[in-house]
A and B are shown apart, each in its own frame.
Chain A
Amino acid sequence: MSDAPSAAAAPSTESLEVIRKFAETYAQRTGTFFCSDSGVTAVVLEGLARHKEQLGGALCPCRHYEDKEAEVSQAFWNCPCVPMRERKECHCMLFLTEDNPFRGDTQSITLSEIRSHTNGSTP
Chain B
Amino acid sequence: MSSAAAVTDASFEQDVLKSDVPVLVDFWAPWCGPCRMVAPIVDEIAKEFEGKLKVCKLNTDENPNVASQYGIRSIPTLMVFKGGQKVDTVVGAVPKNTLSGTISKHL
Contact = CB atoms under 8 A, between A and B. Distances in A.
Contacts of A27: none
Contact of B33 (A3, A35, A50, A63): A35
Contacts of B35: 62, 123
- Main secondary structure on chain A at its contact with chain B? loop
Given A2-B6, A64-B67, A91 B34 contact: yes
Nearest to A123: B30
Given A37-B37, A64-B75, A123-B36, A44 B27 contact: no
B74 A91 contact: yes
Interface of B: 1, 6, 27, 29-37, 57, 59-60, 64, 67-68, 72-76, 92-93
Contacts, number: 77
Contacts of B68: 64, 66
A16 interface: no
Say which size band chain A's interface belongs to: 20 to 34
A62 to B, nearest CB: 4
Contacts of B93: 93
8 contacts: A3-B59, A43-B32, A43-B36, A47-B33, A61-B29, A62-B34, A93-B33, A93-B93
Contact of B31 (A2, A5, A64, A93): A5
A37 B30 contact: no
B29 to A, nearest CB: 6
Given A40-B34, A46-B31, A47-B33, 12 more contacts: A2-B6, A5-B31, A37-B36, A37-B37, A43-B32, A44-B32, A64-B75, A66-B68, A91-B34, A92-B33, A93-B33, A123-B36
A39 B30 CA distance: 12
B78 to A, nearest CB: 14
A34 to B, nearest CB: 10
B33 A40 contact: yes
- Among B6, B27, B31, B93, find the residue whose CB has the most chain A CB atoms closer than 10 A: B31
Contacts of A50: 31
- Among B6, B33, B60, B76, find the residue whose CB has the most chain A CB atoms closer than 10 A: B33
